[in-house]
Amino acid sequence: MSQVDTQLEELKSEIEAEIPSTISITDVKYEGPELVVYTRDPKEFAGDGNLVRQLASKLRKRITVRPDPDVLSRPGEAREKVMDVIPEEAGVEDLDFHEDTGEVVIEAEKPGMVIGRHGSTLREITREVGWTPEVVRTPPIESSTVSNVRNFLKQERQERREILERVGRQIHREEMADEQWVRITTLGCCREVGRAAFILNTAETRVLVDCGDKPGAEGEVPYLQIPEALGAGAQNLDAVVLTHAHLDHSALIPLLFKYGYDGPIYCTEPTRDLMGLLTLDYLDVAAKEGRTPPYDSAQVREAIKHCIPLEYGDVTDIAPDLKLTFHNAGHILGSAVSHFHVGDGLYNVAFSGDIHYDDTRLFNGAVNDFPRVEALVMESTYGGRNDYQTDQEDSERRLIEVINEAHEKGGKVLIPAFAVGRSQEIMLVIEEAMRTGKIPEMPVHLDGMIWEATAIHTTYPEYLRDDLQDRIFHEDENPFLADQFNHIDGGEDERQEVVDEGPSIILSTSGMVTGGPIMSWLRHLGSDQDSTLTFVGYQAQGTLGRRIQNGWDEIPVSDFGSNRDGRGSKLTLKMDVETVDGFSGHADREGLMNFVRNMSPRPEKVLCVHGDESSVQDFSSALYHEFNMRTFAPKNLETFRFK
Amino acid sequence: MSQVDTQLEELKSEIEAEIPSTISITDVKYEGPELVVYTRDPKEFAGDGNLVRQLASKLRKRITVRPDPDVLSRPGEAREKVMDVIPEEAGVEDLDFHEDTGEVVIEAEKPGMVIGRHGSTLREITREVGWTPEVVRTPPIESSTVSNVRNFLKQERQERREILERVGRQIHREEMADEQWVRITTLGCCREVGRAAFILNTAETRVLVDCGDKPGAEGEVPYLQIPEALGAGAQNLDAVVLTHAHLDHSALIPLLFKYGYDGPIYCTEPTRDLMGLLTLDYLDVAAKEGRTPPYDSAQVREAIKHCIPLEYGDVTDIAPDLKLTFHNAGHILGSAVSHFHVGDGLYNVAFSGDIHYDDTRLFNGAVNDFPRVEALVMESTYGGRNDYQTDQEDSERRLIEVINEAHEKGGKVLIPAFAVGRSQEIMLVIEEAMRTGKIPEMPVHLDGMIWEATAIHTTYPEYLRDDLQDRIFHEDENPFLADQFNHIDGGEDERQEVVDEGPSIILSTSGMVTGGPIMSWLRHLGSDQDSTLTFVGYQAQGTLGRRIQNGWDEIPVSDFGSNRDGRGSKLTLKMDVETVDGFSGHADREGLMNFVRNMSPRPEKVLCVHGDESSVQDFSSALYHEFNMRTFAPKNLETFRFK
Ligand SMILES: [Zn+2]
Ligand SMILES: [Zn+2]
Ligand SMILES: [Zn+2]
Ligand SMILES: [Zn+2]
Ligand SMILES: [Zn+2]
């Protein structure tokens, strides 16, 4: 009997000792980080609302109870009873019974009403039918990404359970190492913005944190080939952790599966869906630009299949000596500060990922409160001496001015924006400004993946700022459903119509003007002196966006806005060019300093990454001088030992 | 045709273009770093003394010319002619004809006379017989190590050539990496003395520098298992470089062959022989102490077979992007400062190994003059604030005092000493003091491997200080042959005799009192108040030597002086305990500072290693403050990127 089986036997005995003797346990298994308990008496188990919670705290495990397949009521019969228990207003759209696990997936417009106070309705369901309910939200705006992911996972259910069981056994394997140490190796994202990728390595475990590309420098990928990373074989990685879905963190995650990786990807649920959306788009863009993408959509599906979604605050075993906890990072939907607890109190290290420290319209500010943390790997995008951004209030006022000025001239406002992140923030600003009469009513066109990304936001309102959640739950107040928002889904014809009509606002990808429909909009509007090109986000070095900001007015255009077809035709940019900062998803210098200043506890060591060379060095030196901590501005390919 | 074969074809053409058309080239091959040129006209080749030198500088390769086997004269015939050419006084002891390579190995008491001025006698030999002569010295004191190594290599000649050819093709392979960078990973020897092991890693190449154990802490071995080292397979190492033979640098070199390493070990010739001696002893000691050694003598033989000896100053290609040059380190016989030139002018890094900066009786001081050097990995054994040693002159005076005092009391002087290194230095001091009447004539007993180590020293006088070389070449002046030196080769009986006789001096291993015959001497003499225990070398933390220095007087003894049999019997030490410093093989704080102060050029970065935690930190901070360089006191398991 393997060590894991012995462990499971012991856990079974412990559980039996803990619960009333009337409740029988038939099997105990790991599925990923969860301990799944099979019982012939699911109804009795559900009878006591505290039982699972008590077990979880006693065993220090995440516990799921499932009915033994033998005792399941028939789905047809169960369906009626379930519908009886759930209040009508919950808006149940679908019930999906899985006889292999005794789970019933309930899709509803208002999941909260299916769950009930402290889960009371869920327990009621189990008491009635024995099945274990799981609830998902029907997206208020239809999202093809969300439905594709859900359908795919349903279809791959069997393989997914096998993956989870294998991962579960790995996580709970016996520790082999006879020493303890903690190291971080930098594979990218040092003294640069892009190709985020780090190895967290203990004597026992190796974890890859993020695996992104570098915008504006396609050849510069993370140093995955070195021995500390995948050089000794991708199967030697224990886990991959993805802080958020932006491509500079996620683009090369699917590539890992081409290299033979077969383990878990820990991320939030929205990050999983957004990663699907963005990496498929990444493949699309590569194909359009005539580049051979490093992987194809099959690997994106593999990646999604291997995702283990975690919620903010869940403390999760991901290896015998590692616990991972995600916290809100305030940067984009699902973005997470990733906290690792190593060993049994040995060491704690947090990766900030990308953060926004203050509240924005979309998100609560980044969490910087931890039980313990000795080392911090911290983004420094705006860590430079002078990287202070305008206050959100002033930024909004300025954006409104820009819109009004363009409107007066009869022109249009063209805003390059990341589909995921600032687009929704800008949408909220514009929606309010129109509703309150600060700008005239006019169409707001959303091009590229912005509409789809917005739909994903409305699927996961728990990840949005508190008051925004409430508004989304009420259809008539959901700001993203406002009439003026128009999804550009008619291609060039529709764009031409927009150009021919009066003043409007256009939000279009890509956010750094490196391709996508923004190229087409520039071709249409670039020589229109009455229109305004308005940057609202960070423009990386080497991107066309940055060059335009720096005053370039000769820009390459082509029929399809893609490099491949750009046969050297140029356009002289005559639009007004405006930059309205303060909408960044990134904390500015002050926000970054405040994140550390108010951090509890204050870490001893900080690695400053995810910033241009001068930004990381300025920020590193500022942290050192202000807080007297050991700070570093690492290079790529270095290894730091913490313990 | 492989890229290497194409390259060899081109080299052949270049050579043919360069030499008179009367000389035919039949083949051109790599053997390790050498380019071997086979000719049907060896005599004509040898006719022009400058030809090989010209070719070498033109092709920037080390070149060896060998006769095509077809044109060799018969050994019997050649033997006579060779003996006719070499002057009688050379003392030829053996001629060994190798028909496979056309080489004749000439062993002589005075190799210089076989070589002749600028190699004139060697060329004369080739002109006469066609064979390529190679010369080795007959050890003035018979050394079983030297003769074992030579016999072994003779016997393994065929396999060795195969190894060399394989290594040669590896060295001259086409560069694959499309980027360039330089990193060093610390596998041991950081904030500690012992288990020296570093990885020098470029985008193209991975080299292990040293692989030692930690005296006094047998369990603490270099972190070879991590992916940057052997984790991705030992065959991924391009080369091993050994700075010197001390076990804290060499002990685990043979282990690499157990892990599947099959590549070259670059070291000096004396380092090769001393490594053989010391690692075999290491196995012996482990067996005596009841530990299972991590490898056995078969691996020591493998290691010796894979050695490629380099001389000080030879610039040698060891990989497509790496040139290695050894320089005298002044520490022990054959010890080398190892200088790596990376890429084509990309970067230069020197590993000091262990150094002594000032001249000693045995060695010239360490070389610190390089064409270029940006980074230095530097030993810091005596780098601490107060680690100033007594001047050699004062130390010698004090040692003489200690000897005279003991002699007056009728006692003995027991000196624990490393077989290799300080023993010979102390022998030179004692020999001179007796010869000049500063101490009375009395026997000097050499126990453990000291005699054998001394014999090896006399085999390689080129590696000793200039004036000492001269004395060794004259049998009647060779200080190591002085009458008073007695080799203890009669075991316990002989030791008992020594104990029963009058005053004498005893040098015995181990140098840190961790085992070996010194344990037996302590049992014999430990309670003799008239005798003196005199430390002349560094005592590492955790060793019995250090504990005695610190005042312990309860020492474990047993019948065989080994842990296994030490059934708890204790001895109360009543001998005088003296420490005479200044004989260390290591530079003291001043010497270390001077090494850097006078270094040409001054490096930009220094990693301070091979010292206790406070020593490396003191030294690192001193270098920073005095010379304003970037200095580091790394931990084990870290990686530094230099370029
Ligand atoms: Zn981001
Ligand atoms: Zn980022
Ligand atoms: Zn970003
Ligand atoms: Zn040494
Ligand atoms: Zn050493």
Residue A173 DSSP code: S
DSSP string of A462-517? Answer: GGS-HHHHHHHHSGGG-GGG-TTEEE--SHHHHHHHHHHSS--EEEES-TTSSSSH
Residue B231 DSSP code: I
CATH of the domain at B259: 3.60.15.10
Same domain assignment for residues A423 and A566? yes
Does residue A63 lie in a domain region? yes
Mean pLDDT by 10 residues, chain A (643 residues): 89 93 93 94 85 89 90 90 93 91 92 90 91 91 94 94 95 90 97 97 96 88 93 91 97 96 97 96 88 93 97 96 97 97 96 96 96 97 91 93 96 94 93 96 95 94 91 82 93 95 95 91 94 92 92 75 55 94 90 96 97 97 96 97 95
**pLDDT per residue as tens digits for the range B435-480:** 999 999 999 999 999 999 999 999 999 999 988 988 887 767 889 9
Q: Using the beta-carbon criterion (under 8 Å), do A228 and B639 form an inter-chain contact?
A: yes
Residue where one domain finishes, among candidates B32, B54, B71: B71
The Cα B590–Cα B388 span in angstroms is 7
Q: What is the CA(B250)–ligand 5 centre distance, in A?
A: 9
Same domain assignment for residues B548 and B594? no
Same domain assignment for residues B608 and B571? no
Q: Residue B46 CA to chain centroid, in angstroms?
A: 33
Does residue B99 lie in a domain region? no
Same domain assignment for residues A184 and A126? no
Does residue A632 lie in a domain region? yes
Does residue B416 lie in a domain region? yes
CATH of the domain at A137: 3.30.300.20
List alpha helices for A378-483, DSSP H.
Answer: 392-408, 422-435, 450-459, 466-473
Same domain assignment for residues B428 and B574? yes
Any idea how long chain A is?
A: 643
Residue A290 has a pLDDT of 87
Q: Using the beta-carbon criterion (under 8 Å), do B638 and A637 form an inter-chain contact?
A: no
A324 Cβ partners below 8 Å, 6+ apart?
A241, A266, A310, A315, A316, A318, A338, A339, A340, A341
- ipTM for the predicted complex: 0.78
Residue A397 has a pLDDT of 95
Domain residue limits at A474: 392-579
Does residue A169 lie in a domain region? no
The Cα B335–Cα B350 span in angstroms is 14
Q: In this predicted structure, which of A465-474, A566-575, B362-371, B402-411 has the lowest mean pLDDT?
A: A566-575
Residue B567 has a pLDDT of 54
Is omega for the bond preceding B634 within 30 degrees of 0, making it cis? no
> How many H helices and E strands in chain B?
21, 28
Among A227, A635, A639, select the one facing B232 at the smallest CB separation: A227
The shortest C-alpha distance from B354 to chain A (Å) reads 25
**pLDDT per residue as tens digits for the range B137-177:** 998 889 999 999 999 999 999 999 999 999 999 999 998 88
Highest mean predicted confidence (pLDDT) among A592-596, B120-124, B229-233: A592-596
Per-residue pLDDT at B210 exceeds 90: yes
Number of domains present in the structure of chain B? 3
Q: Which of B311, B340, B315, B382 is nearest to B595 (CA)?
A: B382
Same domain assignment for residues A56 and A182? no
Q: What is the CA(B251)–ligand 4 centre distance, in A?
A: 12
Q: Using the beta-carbon criterion (under 8 Å), do A641 and B640 form an inter-chain contact?
A: no
Burial of A214 (0-12, 13-18, 19+ CB in 10 A): buried
Chain A interface, Cβ < 8 Å to B: 181, 183, 185, 206, 226-228, 231-233, 236, 635-641
Residue where one domain finishes, among candidates A529, A558, A579: A579
Is A528 labeled as ligand-binding? Answer: no
Same domain assignment for residues A536 and A462? yes
Question: Which H, E and C letters describe B374-401, residue by residue?
Answer: CEEEEECCCCCCCCCCCCHHHHHHHHHH
CATH of the domain at B540: 3.40.50.10890
Q: Using the beta-carbon criterion (under 8 Å), do A639 and B636 form an inter-chain contact?
A: no
The token pair at B487 is 């080799």
Residue A562 has a pLDDT of 45
Same domain assignment for residues A414 and A336? no
The Cα B405–Cα B393 span in angstroms is 18
Q: What is the CA(A425)–ligand 3 centre distance, in A?
A: 14
Q: Could you tell me whether strands A132-137 and A103-108 are parallel, antiparallel, or unpaired per DSSP bridges?
A: parallel
Same domain assignment for residues A188 and A72? no
**Closest CA in chain A for residue B231:** A232
Is A244 labeled as ligand-binding? Answer: yes
Give helix A269-288 / helix A450-459 axis angle, nearest 10°: 170
Read off the pLDDT band of B624 (50, 70, 90).
Answer: very high
Same domain assignment for residues B570 and B614? no
**pLDDT per residue as tens digits for the range B479-520:** 998 999 999 999 999 999 999 999 999 999 989 998 889 999
Among A185, A232, A637, select the one facing B231 at the smallest CB separation: A232
Neighbours of ion ligand 1 (CB under 5 A): A 246, 354
Does residue B38 lie in a domain region? yes
Amino acid at A82: V
3-state secondary structure of A336: strand
- In chain A, which residues have their Cβ closer than 8 Å to the Cβ of B232? 227, 231-233
Chain B interface, Cβ < 8 Å to A: 181, 183, 185, 226-228, 231-233, 236, 635-641
Does residue A168 lie in a domain region? no
**Closest CA in chain A for residue B641:** A638
The Cα B512–Cα B422 span in angstroms is 12
- Residue B616 backbone zone (phi > 0: left; psi -120 to 50: alpha; other: beta): alpha
Does residue A170 lie in a domain region? no
Residue where one domain finishes, among candidates B14, B47, B71: B71
DSSP string of B317-334? Answer: EEETTEEEEEEE-SSSTT
Same domain assignment for residues B379 and B397? no
Same domain assignment for residues B326 and B425? no
Residue A582 has a pLDDT of 84
**Closest CA in chain B for residue A204:** B226
Per-residue pLDDT at B406 exceeds 90: yes
Cβ atoms of A136 and A150 closer than 8 Å: yes
